[in-house]
Structure 1
Amino acid sequence: MVLQRKALLFLLLGSFLLLSACSNSNATGKSKETDKKETTDVFQTIKTDDLKANLGKEDWVIVDTRSNDAFNGWALDGVKRGGHIKGAVDFSADWLKVKVDKKDKKLKEALKSKGISTDKKVVLYDANGKDAQTVAEYLKNNGFKNIYKFDVKEWAANQDLALESYPNYEMLASSTWVNDLINNKNNGNPYKIFEVSWGDEAKDYKKGHIPGAVHINTDEVEEGPVWNRLKDKKLEKFALKNGITTDTTVVLYGSDSMPAFRVAVILKYMGVSDVRVLNGGFASWKNASYQVEKKVNSKKSVASFGAVVPANPDYIIDLPEAKTILADKNTGTLVDIRSWDEFIGKISGYDYIEAKGRPAGAVWGHAGSDSSHLEDFRSIDNTMRNGSEILSMWEKDGINPDKKLAFYCGTGWRAAEVLFYADVLGLKNITLYDGGWNEWSMDPSNPVEKGKSNK
């Protein structure tokens, strides 16, 4: 009798354990933990041949989810060739990590402008196995269903498959490249890293900067009231004081990149052959978790610049050349890089510029919300906007990149950044009209227009 009771007890215990095991497994015998892991990665993987076959189809969209640096042309994360699949649009996983006002609205606007919609089959590619997953989760949460993932390293390894890079993508330095530059000391060649901002106090610089960086105050290269660049002899003294020669690799950056682009354009005008700006500014360096230092580094001078300044005089022009361009619209265009309200004369955009309007005959080339922003040329993380989108934007406004393009703004900062981007894209006949609206408006004999005409 006792043995029968023990047998019954063991039978009941075994049934209980079996039921417990079933309750923690799905129909295929996999645990809940495994099942949960799989449901976060339900996206299909597409093969190279299938991706190639669907390129260019209206119901497919190919999306590069990597950093803007990789899209532009830098070979990162183990790819054998840099650049993006021709025809791909960009929607970087980095954009989902930034903290900006109205972020969700801006992301939705980016999806719409790039043709990434729920009615299409969406291929997301990366090289690190993380970026595509991050974007896929975001799209899934926003109603996307037909999502495919692809490892671009497979594409890059096949020399017969086209990758598109901007001709001068190296001008926009990646944080990875800058870190390597510091570690290998530019292979023994001279280099300098500068944090650029306005003011001697260098507040941003003192909060923390790239190791070895020296502060440049924009007053070192320009002066009021017009805020044109300094005379050539003074610019040469500026270069010598900062240890810059024609053969120095110069890397510029800032918490706001615009001042860095201003100095970069002036250095190229002077004749420095290798001038680079950190793409995305200091934020890109910090987001990469690279070392930051607070020590104030001193300027180290050199005795000779190595060329007569300016060695590249056509990179910046002045008022007489701007008038010549306006006089012959068949060969050139004066491109206004200011907000729409500045262009039509609703506002001047500056507290120290009273006049409103534009040089008669200038064409609006887009800019941003105000004199301190360039949203039309930057992605949400403040890296350069997709170059195809920039060129398409200009084409709609009748700006022909085959003509001579002279960019101007109020005093040169915004236009300098756009000139630099145009250079990255490989445009040849480009220049900065340094004086801009500030200089033009000072002489009442210079013809001025207002209103919405853009032709």
Structure 2
Amino acid sequence: MNPLKSVQWLNENKNNPKLIVLEASLKSTANETNAIINQHIPNALSFDISTVFSDTSNSLPNMVPSEAQFTAAAQNLGIDSDSIIVVYDTIGVYSSPRAWWLFLTMNHAPVFVLDGGLPEWIANDYATSATLKTPNVKGDFIAKYKPALISNRFDILENLDTQTKTVIDARSPDRFAGITLDSRKEARSGHIPHSKNIFFEAVLNGTTLKSKAELASIFETVVAEDKPLIFTCGSGITACIDALAATVVGIENLSIYDGSWSEWGMLPEAPVETKQ
């Protein structure tokens, strides 16, 4: 299933009673200066990744919430088991893939990312709203966690020995190589040994994803073996952009390292490589 929907599709299907449009937001991001403020797609609901749809009891940012937390939050948005969900963000394709992956992780398959997000919607002269919609009904969605879609540090440590999976790091080449210091002062710089680098910006063409052919070429160049892929980044957000791109290509058997560098870079027992 193609995980993307175009703004044209959304405009044509905006009156579908099963459609739920979610604006995925983060508390703060490095890309927030590119965000559009005070404009929203009409009838969109707020999908707060940083607090409502994250495990805030964990010291690490953006960690997957429990089934119970996700169920309650989704129901509060009026989401049903048969809802067709389209998620977008105000940058283009940035935080929306994280929301997409969370729904897949909680066993809701009819979920899509709006390719180009709000910038593409506005570029096509579609109407916007000054405010987000306030939920007025409770849904019947029930989350069912799919652990195969999320990896943890123990999976990564085991893979250092087995090398049965390929780890893809979505951070910038300089951060991957350890040239640029990590934004978290206590974290080391560098990358997980044996991991490959596909900078999330490399799969984008401005605010949209690159074509399927272009994405296939990127993955063929970096991923030489047919192994399951684990995506990582700084805090589990941009890893989902790479996972989205891989899904568009048709690559299966993917997971996200939820702790990502926020965790790995802080673990004294975790080996780190640098590459100049």
TM-score by length of 1: 0.55
| Mapped contact 2:25–2:95 kept (Cα < 8 A) | yes
Mapped pair 1:423 → 2:258: no
Give distance in 1, aligned partners of 2:101 and 2:248: 12
| Mapped contact 1:246–1:273 kept (Cα < 8 A) | no
Question: Helix, strand or coil: the match of 1:449?
Answer: coil
After superposition, what is the alpha-carbon deviation per residue over 1:187-231, rounded to whole angstroms, capped at 9, x for unaligned? x4x22111122249x997861211111122222222363112223
Compared with structure 1, are the counterparts of its residues 353 and 426 closer, same or farther at alpha carbon in structure 2 (3 Å cutoff)? farther
Shift of 1:301: 4.7
Question: In structure 2, which of residues 13, 17, 22 is the aligned counterpart of residue 194 of structure 1?
Answer: 22
Alignment correspondent of 2:165 = 332
Compared with structure 1, are the counterparts of its residues 295 and 449 closer, same or farther at alpha carbon in structure 2 (3 Å cutoff)? closer
| Mapped contact 1:326–1:332 kept (Cα < 8 A) | no
Alignment correspondent of 1:248 = 83
Compared with structure 1, are the counterparts of its residues 265 and 345 closer, same or farther at alpha carbon in structure 2 (3 Å cutoff)? same
Bigger helix share: 1
* One-letter amino acid matched to 1:442: M
Question: In structure 1, which of residues 323, 333, 337 is the aligned counterpart of residue 157 of structure 2?
Answer: 323
Alignment correspondent of 2:183 = 350
* One-letter amino acid matched to 1:292: T
Give distance in 2, aligned partners of 1:303 and 1:278: 22
Shift of 1:352: 5.4
Question: Helix, strand or coil: the match of 1:229?
Answer: coil
Question: In structure 2, which of residues 9, 23, 44 is the aligned counterpart of residue 213 of structure 1?
Answer: 44
| Mapped contact 1:233–1:309 kept (Cα < 8 A) | no
Aligned CA RMSD, in angstroms, stands at 2.4
| Mapped contact 1:412–1:434 kept (Cα < 8 A) | yes
| Mapped contact 2:42–2:132 kept (Cα < 8 A) | no
* One-letter amino acid matched to 1:408: T
Give distance in 1, aligned partners of 2:137 and 2:224: 42
Question: In structure 2, which of residues 208, 212, 215 is the aligned counterpart of residue 387 of structure 1?
Answer: 212
Question: In structure 2, which of residues 204, 224, 230 is the aligned counterpart of residue 378 of structure 1?
Answer: 204
Question: Helix, strand or coil: the match of 1:196?
Answer: strand
Alignment correspondent of 2:116 = 280
Give distance in 1, aligned partners of 2:114 and 2:132: 20
Compared with structure 1, are the counterparts of its residues 251 and 205 closer, same or farther at alpha carbon in structure 2 (3 Å cutoff)? farther
Structure 1 runs not aligned, ≥5 long:
1-167, 368-373
| Mapped contact 1:205–1:215 kept (Cα < 8 A) | no
| Mapped contact 1:246–1:271 kept (Cα < 8 A) | no
Alignment correspondent of 1:297 = 133
- Flag the structure with more relative contact order, 1 or 2, with Cα contacts below 8 A and sequence separation at least 6: 2
* One-letter amino acid matched to 1:359: I
| Mapped contact 2:231–2:257 kept (Cα < 8 A) | yes
Identity %: 25
TM-score by length of 2: 0.87
Shift of 1:273: 1.5
Question: Helix, strand or coil: the match of 1:234?
Answer: helix
Question: Helix, strand or coil: the match of 2:140?
Answer: coil
* One-letter amino acid matched to 2:256: L
Question: Helix, strand or coil: the match of 2:46?
Answer: strand
Give distance in 1, aligned partners of 2:165 and 2:249: 18
Give distance in 2, aligned partners of 1:245 and 1:272: 10
* One-letter amino acid matched to 1:250: I
Shift of 1:353: 5.3
Structure 2 runs not aligned, ≥5 long:
none
Alignment correspondent of 1:141 = none
Which stretch shifts more, 242-251 or 414-423?
A: 242-251
| Mapped contact 2:187–2:262 kept (Cα < 8 A) | no
Give distance in 1, aligned partners of 2:139 and 2:84: 17
Give distance in 1, aligned partners of 2:36 and 2:210: 26
* One-letter amino acid matched to 1:221: F
